[in-house]
Amino acid sequence: MSEKLLEIVDERLSFFTPAGEVKALNGVSFSMEEGEVLGIVGESGSGKSVTAYSIMGLTAYPGRLIGGTIRFNGHQVDQMSEKEFRKMRGNEVSIIFQDPMTSLNPVYTIGNQIEEVIRLHTDKSKTEARARAKELLELVGINEPEKRLRQYPHELSGGMRQRVMIAIALACEPKLLIADEPTTALDVTIQAQILELMQELRQKMGMSIIMITHDLGVVASMCERIAVMYAGHIVEYGTTDEIFYHPSHEYTKGLIGSIPKLTTEESERLVPIEGQPVDLLNPPAGCPFAPRCRSCMKICLKKMPPKTRLSDTHYSYCWLRQKEAAEGGHEA
């Protein structure tokens, strides 16, 4: 078994807003091995991005880590100083953001912005950095790299800009690449190209990827493992097959059930998950999904369900599974 690249245990993170403490993460735990591709899915505000940003120390003000430990590549991330974070960011772990249209600085050339990160983390000279930048642009499939290096972001299309963002992220060959909804702002054909590119690069460079998305299609095609998040909890975790073919949490079932199928008749309605997302200012005492759950029981409203192991790689937090396990003799 390979070394754990990332291990998060019971991470708690809150945003201290004037309206009160918004509990964004409520005990998130998971780990990743080197070279693994993990998908984190969930609706807006479920804590997907917050989890990923906290690995890089990019938690936005007024957010603060209030508990738990994060270990990444030998670093105790939860106790790192800003200076240590700076050495790690862009070097050992990098990130691709959702909107490539606004993620590049409009007043500098593409070349400048790629070379910047290379020169920051390596001893390369200006000419070496330029050569590396050109190589990176070729790697991410941008034609005429020499010309592109001299161009400004506004002269490139959205898909091209996202390729540039990927080039910046991969410039120092990071161990972990965080992709925060990398295809959401792109149109469908470009989406497919970017995903293909990421898969290809992963095979070439062997880095781990955390893919944050609410698009189940994306995780199905890219990821080996999936963490389903809801209201700052990982409610279910498993391999892609386990999540898609044996969803165990009611929320996961709802998510999968709401995907339109090719066989769906035109007149048929899509199946939504009823109700409203949880108010994280006042999270419920029990299972956060209980108020929207179709199979909600009394206990669900009162107590957070414990972890139910369904296989070596698959677990979920749901009282129903807990009950079945007790009745069926699964290990609890």
Partner 1 sequence: MGKYIVKRIAMGILSVFIVATLTFFLMNLVPGGPFVAEKSISKAAQEALEAKFGLDKPLLQRYTTYMTDFLHGDMGFSLRQRGRTVSDIIFSKFPVSARLAGIAVVVALCVGIPLGCISAYNRGKLADNFIIVLGTCGIAIPSFISSVLLLYTFGSWLKILPTMGLNDAVSYIMPVTALAIYPTAYITRLMRSSLLDVMGQDYIRTAKAKGLSSFMILFKHALRNALLPVIAYVGPMLASLMTGSFVVEKIFTIPGLGREFVSSITNRDYTMIMGTTIILAALVIAANVIVDILYKIIDPRIKLK
Residues engaged in binding partner 1 (CB under 8 A): 56, 58, 85-91, 94-95, 97, 99, 102-108, 116-117, 120-121, 152, 154, 165, 168
Residue 88 vs 198, nearer CB to partner 1:
88
How near is the Cβ of 154 to partner 1 at its closest, in Å?
A: 5
Q: Write b or e for each residue in 301-328: b if 16 or more Cβ atoms lie within 10 A of its Cβ, otherwise e.
A: eeebbeebebeeebbbbbbbbbeeeeee
How are beta strands 63-72 and 75-76 bridged, if at all?
A: antiparallel
- Whose tokens are 């994280």? That residue is 280
Judge contact between 178 and 210, C-beta under 8 A: yes
Closest to partner 1 by CB, 16 vs 245, is 16
Tell me the angle at which helices 158-170 and 110-121 cross, rounded to the nearest 10 degrees: 10
Between 119 and 249, name the residue whose CB sits nearer to partner 1.
119
DSSP letter assigned to residue 67: E
Query: Which two three-digit tokens encode residue 105?
Result: 């600085």
Q: Which is nearer to partner 1, 181 or 242 (CB)?
A: 181
Give the residue ranges of DSSP H helices in the chain.
48-56, 82-88, 110-121, 126-139, 145-149, 158-170, 188-205, 216-222, 240-245, 250-257, 298-302, 319-328
Pick the closer one to partner 1 by CB: 105 or 282: 105
**Least distance CB 86 / partner 1 (angstroms):** 5
